Amino acid sequence: MNISVKWKRELEFEATTVKGKRLVLDGNSKAAPSPTEALLTSLASCIAIDVVLVLSKMRLDLEGLEADVHAERAETPPRYFKKIQISFRVAGPVPEQQLNRAIRLSVDRYCSVLHSLRPDLELNWTVTQTADRPS
């Protein structure tokens, strides 16, 4: 995996993958997400992708999935993530036990983003099932 990062202006950078996909990051969070916001986005997306894949292999009818992330960082540099809470909202007739199993498989085995973070990171999650598809 290779990525090129180019400084644009102020604290704004553009990352480009070898396939030409572009992502803008901004250390001031003005023009784009900051690198730490992007990391949280990547973590939640990584787990969500795993959940969708695992539930589809279980042949369960997932109709919608959303995740909200709250993170606490160390107060002094390096301001690493100490604790992350992910709140999932799920629509569809997916038994809670299977849903938590899919999340657990991602957290324990599949999510490479999570496994690239500090081993002392505290990660927790909640699941809320809704009758309607998440917006």
Domain map (residue ranges) of the chain: 1-33, 35-130
Alpha-carbon separation of residue 35 from 13, 15, 26, 40, 43 (angstroms): 10, 11, 7, 9, 12
Whose tokens are 């999510």? That residue is 111
For the CA atoms of 38, 6, 18, 31, the dihedral, rounded to the nearest 10 degrees, stands at: 40
Dump strand ranges (E) for the chain: 3-9, 12-17, 22-26, 64-73, 81-91, 122-130
Name the fold adopted by 35-130. Answer: GMP Synthetase; Chain A, domain 3 (3.30.300)
Whether pTM exceeds 0.85: yes
- Of 111, 55, 62, 68, the C-alpha closest to 90 is 62
pLDDT digits over 36-83, tens only? 999 999 999 999 999 999 999 999 999 999 999 999 999 999 999 999
Fold classification of 1-33 is N-terminal domain of TfIIb (2.20.25)
